[in-house]
Amino acid sequence: MNWRSTTVAGLVDALGPTLPAAAFVAAIAADDGGYAVRLSDGCPLEGRFEIGSTTKTLTGTVLASLVNDGTVALDDEIGHWLDAGPGSDITLGQLATHTSGLPRLSPSHIAGAADPYDFLTAEAAGRELRLTTRGPRGVEWDYSNFGFQVLSLALERAASMPFGALLEQRVLRPLGMNCSGVAGHGRGSRVQGHAQGSPVAPWTHHLWGAGGVEATAEDLARYLSACLTPPDSAVGAAIRLAQRPHHRIDPLRSAGLGWALGPPGYLGHDGGTSGFRAMLGIKQPACRAAGVFVNDRAARGLPPAVRRALDRETGQS
């Protein structure tokens, strides 16, 4: 078996037995020879998984695409499109690199709420921005879901297009990801999410850019393959710009546009929602990439499992 086939089989076999019976595992792997997909028993071929914060890599690619065609610039301030009060001077690049000074969650977010983002409409986001205490800009890295929610709103205002349509136009359609999109869009069927084996309702998103995308394993394999070896096209150029280091966090880590870079040679992102866990990882020097998705938020160990897969020697089981 080649590395791709061994990897997807190993990820499914390693994670599957640790999960409740209702959970599915989807594993993907790519290298310079193509990609492979493996689903645990019973998982629908066109089932859409919520990918959580791995959405941020897609949002960063949308931003990069708009930068490349001159629609926006990374140093454009969000005050051009949003009534953000003291946060009007936050730039698109700062939002995309978690250096905006915005908190991890919006000020009125209620931790533990059954549907914590339902209140955060475009109008509410403006109020939340005006309530937010001003933090340092462009200097200190501080992970912010709220920042990416605001980023997707600013991008749809800048492009005069709903974010879901913008994502489809700039990334999904060019890569053939026809079953994927913001929640409720795309072909196929939504996979039921769980929490420790019990079904849970999906979170409501009005601002999609932080974690609102659903995708099938096959589509994610196409995306991962393009992220590993970007095509010679507009979307490939956007991927390359998004994966470039745009802010140095420390000697070993940097922030791309939505991507977490480091330690050197690695990049990726994990994610979680009300009923799902996800992880994408790339090891650029080895030209390898892998990902895994589970429809139970209690799933643990996805990032180290992907890292082990990327580091495994060819031919090793």
Domain CATH code at residue 53: 3.40.710.10
Please check whether residue 209 is in contact with residue 120, taking contact to mean a CB–CB distance below 8 angstroms. Answer: no
Burial of 168 per CB tally in 10 Å (0-12, 13-18, 19+): buried
SS3 290: strand
Give Dmax over CA atoms of the chain in angstroms: 57
Q: Note whether residue 20 is domain-resident.
A: yes
Q: Note whether residue 236 is domain-resident.
A: yes
Please name which of 147, 167, 266 lies closest in space to residue 223, comparing C-alpha atoms: 167
Tokens of 132: 């937010």
pLDDT category at 22 given cuts 50, 70, 90 is confident
Q: Note whether residue 245 is domain-resident.
A: yes
pLDDT tens-place string over residues 208-240:
999 999 999 999 999 999 999 999 999 999 999
pLDDT tens-place string over residues 184-209:
777 889 999 999 999 999 999 999 99
Q: Note whether residue 124 is domain-resident.
A: yes
- The residue range of the domain holding 110 is 3-311
The rounded distance, in Å, linking the Cα atoms of 204 and 206 is 7
DSSP state of 171: I
Q: Note whether residue 162 is domain-resident.
A: yes
pLDDT tens-place string over residues 123-162:
999 999 998 876 777 778 999 999 999 999 999 999 999 9
Please name which of 310, 58, 87 lies closest in space to residue 209, comparing C-alpha atoms: 58
Count: domains in the chain: 1
Q: Note whether residue 297 is domain-resident.
A: yes
Q: Note whether residue 317 is domain-resident.
A: no
Reported pTM: 0.96
Please name which of 176, 182, 166 lies closest in space to residue 220, comparing C-alpha atoms: 176
Q: Note whether residue 316 is domain-resident.
A: no
